[in-house]
Amino acid sequence: MQKIIDRFVKYIKIDTQSDPNNSAFPSTEKQWDLAHILVNDLQEIGMEEVSLDENCYVMATLPSNVDFQVATIGFIAHLDTSPDYSGTNVKPQFHPNYDGKDIVLNKEENIILSPSYFEDLLLYKGQTLITTDGNTLLGADDKAGITEIVSAMDYLIKHPEIKHGKIRIGFTPDEEVGKGAHQFDVEKFGAEWAYTMDGSMVGELEYENFNAASAKVIINGKSVHPGYAKGKMINSILIANEFIASLPQNEIPQETEGYEGFFHLHDIKGDIEKTDLEYIIRDHNKELFENRKTVFQKAVDELNIKLGSPLVEVEIKNQYFNMHEQIEPVMHIIHIAEEAMKIAGIKPIIHAIRGGTDGAQLSYKGLPCPNIFTGGHNFHGRYEFITAESMQKATEVIVNISMITARKAKRN
């Protein structure tokens, strides 16, 4: 377990935030820093065919150690951390044998991680809890996934008595800005199916996710001296307020759960002459998802009619779709993951992701790719945490999946 901790700390201290406003690929140069380190680490543990391509994708192979045909499987995690919260100068704090009480992350600013608010903390009493210092995110999303995959490959190499087929691993850039699978070479990867290690709570196994779109609204106004503005000024900020109010007020992230979709305003910038609104639109059901985009466009059109001029512009772009349609024909890959968890003493928790992973896009590119837990919680913020034991369990699940896949192939 100490090796897992050391590897995790090594990776989270490397700043790899992606940038949604940069069209370059990858969107930040610093993602290369971790990619180069991973190439070295994979070579050191004995992985073969280790590569880093021009788009910052790391891939490697663990050859089969059996003399019969086994499907090539893969494990995937992403290099970048969320652009929504600082990943610079991460200083993890360790809480061995966590006692279930409040944790002071930052005494000066009175930042407290409390089970009275984050009840999931109580699931990990007695374990080695790893938290932030209150100033950054932790980076378990998804450096825990990277750690677990590397650790599992290291374990399999050191324990050749565990039989497995060919295993491919891949680490992707820019997942947090929705581009993680855009340049992923599925043919080069060469797996029949894969698993993203990018979930949260121990036991999570997910093969349904949101259908997703982004929407940018540009509102154009006209600025004149406020003392002489009657009949002349067009205040884009006030029009923006009217547009925001025109959408269903209870269909927002903080008011929805389960399979309920939403409209999420996540960024706003503006002045009198121009205001930009950035939304994400989400729904698990394809028909409801399409209807949401229609509602959004209709809100723009009706506002322009009311204003008597096309002052409001909108651009809606699809990002990814629900992987369920691609996984349903190959449900045996879910059953293998379930069995792997049960062998590790974990109760599988199968539910829909209220988000997305590289696996959603990869599934539509021909690589069925459900999502498995990493053990982290409260991603994308200062209250993020994970336990060493959770990462150890995820590592064990990867090993078990590899073993079960070979065993089933031998039987057939």
Q: Torsions phi, psi of 61, nearest 5?
A: -130, 135
Catalytic residue among 19, 80, 142, 174: 80
Q: How far apart are CA 337 and CA 371, in angstroms?
A: 10
**Judging by DSSP bridges, how do beta strands 349-350 and 204-206 pair with one another?**
parallel
Active site residue 80: yes
For 101, other C-beta atoms within 10 Å of its C-beta total 11
Cis peptide before 329 (omega within 30 of 0): no
Catalytic residue among 148, 154, 174, 175: 175
For 126, other C-beta atoms within 10 Å of its C-beta total 12
Residue 276, C-beta contacts closer than 8 angstroms, at least 6 positions apart: 216, 217, 218, 219, 267, 268, 269, 270
For 327, other C-beta atoms within 10 Å of its C-beta total 20
Residue 89, C-beta contacts closer than 8 angstroms, at least 6 positions apart: 15, 135, 136
The crossing angle, in degrees rounded to 10, of helices 332-343 and 388-411 is 130
**Closest listed residue to residue 120, CA positions, set 349, 358, 281:** 349
Q: How far apart are CA 262 and CA 247, in angstroms?
A: 10
Active site residue 175: yes
DSSP 118-159: -GGGGGGTTS-EEE--SSS---HHHHHHHHHHHHHHHHHHH-
Q: In one letter, which amino acid is 382?
A: R
* DSSP bridge pairs for 103: 113
Q: Which two tokens stand for residue 140?
A: 């378990």
Coil/strand/helix, residue 86: coil
Alpha helix locations (H) across 231-346? 236-246, 286-307, 324-327, 332-343
Active site residues per annotation: 80, 175
